[in-house]
């Protein structure tokens, strides 16, 4: 299957579906610095576009492996978001529907690959100190404030909906 090129993601005819992961390793959260637009240079949750014929959990597993070099166990959906970016003329430059899952680290050495310029584990309590994509900041703050445990296998959160 041929992967969609980045240029085909700009000015799409319809929204693209993306997945993201709130990936935890004990009390640490996985963050990536975006290497490509939109939000290039900012920190966010890892993830990417769903490919044709791919189920959402499989897409997240693939994206985390490509972007971070690690294997994960995908848990429940934590949030669904509209990510719509307009250019200076008001035209839709990027439009994603993002589905974020809770996930647990399984194995592998963390490396930045694919669309990430950096990938790090950070204590969950310190994650809001990063220069985060604003929607990611709000999402993580909401998760941290309302849930005693973010572990993928232990808790079914209420699904958040919003705009990033």
- Enter the DSSP assignment of 2: P
For 39-89, give the secondary structure using H, E and C.
Answer: CCCCEECCEEECCCCCCHHHHHHHHHHHHHCCEEEEEEEEEEEEEEEECCC
State how far the Cα of 82 lies from the Cα of 136, in Å rounded to an integer: 12
* Residue 134 annotated as catalytic: no
Give me the catalytic one of 26, 118, 126, 134. 118
Instruction: Give the whole-angstrom CA distance, residue 117 versus residue 41.
Output: 8
Q: Identify the DSSP state of 9.
A: H
Interatomic CA distance for residues 22 and 70, integer angstroms: 14
Hey, which residues are catalytic here? Answer: 118
């Amino acid at each position: 299957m041929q992967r969609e090129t980045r240029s085909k993601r700009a000015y799409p005819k319809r929204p693209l579906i993306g997945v993201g992961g709130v990936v935890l390793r004990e009390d640490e959260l996985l963050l990536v610095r975006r290497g490509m637009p939109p939000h290039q240079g900012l920190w966010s949750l890892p993830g990417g576009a769903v490919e044709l014929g791919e189920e959402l959990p499989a897409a997240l597993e693939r994206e985390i492996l490509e972007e971070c070099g690690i294997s994960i166990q995908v848990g429940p959906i934590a949030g669904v978001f509209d990510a719509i970016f307009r250019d200076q003329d008001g035209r839709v430059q990027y439009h994603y529907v993002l589905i974020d899952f809770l996930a647990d680290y399984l194995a592998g050495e963390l490396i930045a690959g694919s669309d990430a310029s950096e990938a790090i584990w950070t204590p969950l309590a310190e994650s809001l100190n990063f220069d985060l994509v604003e929607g990611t900041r709000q999402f993580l703050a909401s998760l941290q404030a309302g849930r005693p445990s973010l572990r993928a296998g232990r808790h079914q959160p209420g699904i958040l909906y919003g705009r990033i």
